[in-house]
Amino acid sequence: MENYHPKVTPWQIDEQDFPHNRDATEKLRFLVRYAILAPSSHNTQPWIFSVDGDEIRVFVDKTRWLKVADPDQRELHMSVGCALENLLIAAEHFGYGHEVNYFPDSDREELVARVKFMPQGKPSPFRGPELFDAIPVRHTNHQFYTSRPISQYYQQRLQDCCVEEDIYLYLTNDPEIKRKVDDLITRADATQFADPAFREELGYWIGQGVFGTPWLLAKLAQLAVSHVNFGKVVAKTDSEVLMSSPVLGLLSSKGNDRKTQVKVGQVFERIYLTAAALGISLQPMSQIVQIAEIRAELAKLIPVADRFPQQPFRLGYAKSETEHTPRRPLKEVLV
Ligand SMILES: Cc1cc2nc3c(=O)[nH]c(=O)nc-3n(C[C@H](O)[C@H](O)[C@H](O)COP(=O)(O)O)c2cc1C
């Protein structure tokens, strides 16, 4: 696409451009434009879509897997789940029903879902119109959050995103739990940044410009992150932003198989979008679930036993981020 600006063009999507008078394939390709606006760990965008007749096949792109930060590919599959959820929200908005078949081919583990679309579908009660409207405005907010509390009503709205069986959302403003989570974050940051392989991987993705840093700065940042242990600085910032946040959230699940990971991603994206619709900022804080021992300690903080901690995040009110993160052009993710 000419004049494609990765931080701008994909976000300027207009529902009026839905190709009502074109064939089924063109229409479904339009839905993919919403899918790619989903969040993903390190903005790796590890997804591929294939449109065929009335079906979209959603694949995980394992060349974009964070081998060090995400050794068991859990966040990889959650990220694809986020994109799948955007796809379904957009489909329902444009009047489609859908049937999702998860991991339909046991010989092809990268095929995450085959989604069949039908005209004249009924929208799901948990995919309200505000979620669709939030897709192009949602972003991760890394700023300090103000101490303004989040009302019980809004917290319940976030809880209502959690309709999948065996996936749970825990929200807390307990200062003691916040302090314990803060300790875990400090330890996780120290452990990860002491590992040259972790720094090299993070540096590589920063160098690819995934966070929207201009090219030269991105390359300089790659060099710096790869060679210097910024663990203490990162931990200090993480601690400050965490303690500034009025509410902590943790998504957990009963099991932790691939399908569960994808579904956790779907729930997480609904939470992200609902928060955006309510004017609430959100930042995932994944380091404490990326290290097994620290994740086990986090599990003990949830008041219910036998839950697998999937995604911690902080919530609050903050100034908006000034720009979006980049997205790859559609032609790179559509096969
Ligand atoms: C599974 C998952 C884990 C993430 N972990 C973190 C994290 O630990 N820290 C963070 O600041 N952002 C995290 N993010 C947010 C991504 O960095 C963000 O989605 C990506 O950079 C794209 O930016 P956007 O969300 O503003 O569109 C995570 C996102 C996902 C889906």
Do the beta carbons of residue 244 and residue 147 sit within 8 Å? yes
What ipTM does this complex have?
0.99
Q: What is the CATH number of domain 9-139+323-333?
A: 3.40.109.30
User: In ligand 1, which atom is closest to the CA atom of 42?
Assistant: 17
User: In ligand 1, which atom is closest to the CA atom of 210?
Assistant: 21
Sort 25 into a burial class: Cβ within 10 Å, 0-12 / 13-18 / 19+: middle
Pocket of ligand 1 contains residue 270 by CB under 6 Å:
no
Do the beta carbons of residue 284 and residue 311 sit within 8 Å? yes
Q: Which residues of the chain have pLDDT under 70?
A: 1-2
Domain with CATH 3.40.109.30 in the chain: 9-139+323-333
Q: How far apart are CA 329 and CA 39, in angstroms?
A: 15
pLDDT of residue 223: 86
pLDDT of residue 303: 80
Domain with CATH 3.40.109.10 in the chain: 152-194+229-316
Give the model confidence (pLDDT) of 206-258 as tens digits: 999 998 888 888 888 888 888 888 888 888 999 999 999 999 999 999 999 99
Gap from CA of 179 to ligand 1 centroid (Å):
22
Which residue's CA lies nearest to atom 12 of ligand 1? Answer: 284
Q: What is the CATH number of domain 152-194+229-316?
A: 3.40.109.10
Q: How far apart are CA 130 and CA 14, in angstroms?
A: 15
